[in-house]
Amino acid sequence: MGSESLIDLVRTVHTSKDKDYSELFIRSEGGMGLYKFIVDRWSYYTFTSNAKDVARIDALVSEGKSLVEAIDILASADHEAMYGKKSREAA
């Protein structure tokens, strides 16, 4: 792949604004490509740098929740919003 084509490819890398995924460009001896990095909601809240979501975590911690409890609350709320409460109870 030529350098201009490679630059064009790398410019397409982005992060979803609605927290669904991030894209990664990986280049190694075995090849190169674009990959979508998708994590579960608990991992998302554990590693997020999104200012609004960090503020939501901080607000729950300020209310007396532990960091783990705050992440559980937010991840559970997202799960229920996406799949409904019944699917979580069945798991």
Q: How far is CA 43 from the centre of its chain?
A: 7
Q: What's phi and psi for 58, nearest 5 deg? A: -60, -40
User: What's at 79, amino acid-wise?
Assistant: H
Verdict on whether the full-model pTM lies above 0.85:
no
Instruction: Give 21's Cβ-side CA count (13 Å radius).
Output: 9
pLDDT digits (tens, 9 = 90+) for 8-58: 877 877 777 666 788 888 889 998 888 888 889 999 999 998 899 999 999
